Amino acid sequence: MTDLQALWDKHSTREEQSKALQEKDLLRLHSNKNAPLAKLRKNIYINTGFAIVILIGFLGLLFYIDGFLFRLFTGILCVSYVAAILFNIYMVRNYLREPAPDQSLKEYLTKLLNNMNKAFRSVELIALMIYPIAMTAGFLLPLTLEGKIDLIYNEPVVQGILIACYIVLTPLCWYFAKYMNKVAFGKYLNQLEDILKDLNRQD
């Protein structure tokens, strides 16, 4: 009987320790403004705010400047920014919500980290296609304003400069965006990974 009681006490202690660990880690995730999930939400909202401001600027140019090519490329940019804003909202609502009552913290963190890392990789890859469009729109802006849009069709030097911008600026912009994502989000994703490692060490 004594042995059974000792085993039961040991089992109860482990359950209490596991519960305390879950509560402690949940507190680290959600309890205050410095928790990693709160920081991720905040930075995504800031990113969304900048996207809205830029979108408003593009919409103003779209309606103010008359030129088919410029409006075409600027319109594509507007659509991409709307998509980015909606995707940010989707991430907050679906990835950064609190764990379901029947979901373990380990399962929640594993799924969260996988989804967030995939999301950022997807955004970075899509950006590679958007940057040339943004450069083209920027290139077309002064040509449209000055009524010299024909240069884009007939002047090899102008075409060469635009192609050079694609080759040089696209990878630079991509690396810069990747770096900014790391600064804005990487630190907090690493904190979540540390919490997950702590949980795995307890098994």
pTM, entire model: 0.80
The reported pLDDT for the residue numbered 76 is 95
Extents of the domains making up the chain: 39-94+105-202
Q: Could you please report the per-residue DSSP string of the chain?
A: -HHHHHHHHHHHHHHHHHHHHHHHHHHHHHSSTTSHHHHHHHHHHHHHHHHHHHHHHHHHHHHHS--HHHHHHHHHHHHHHHHHHHHHHHHHHHTSSPPPTTS-HHHHHHHHHHHHHHHHHHHHHHHHHHHHHHHHHHHHHHHHHTT-TTHHHH-HHHHHHHHHHHHHHHHHHHHHHHHHHIIIIIHHHHHHHHHHHHHHHH-
Residue 28 binned pLDDT confidence (cut-offs 50, 70, 90): low
Whether residue 29 has pLDDT greater than 50:
yes
Whether residue 44 has pLDDT greater than 90:
yes
Average pLDDT taken over every residue of the chain: 82
pLDDT tens digits for 157-179? Answer: 989 999 999 999 999 999 988 88
The reported pLDDT for the residue numbered 17 is 43
The reported pLDDT for the residue numbered 1 is 40
Q: What is the mean pLDDT of residues 135-148?
A: 90
Percent of the chain with pLDDT over 70: 82
Whether residue 201 has pLDDT greater than 60:
yes
pLDDT tens digits for 73-125? Answer: 999 999 999 999 999 999 999 888 777 777 777 888 889 999 999 998 888 88
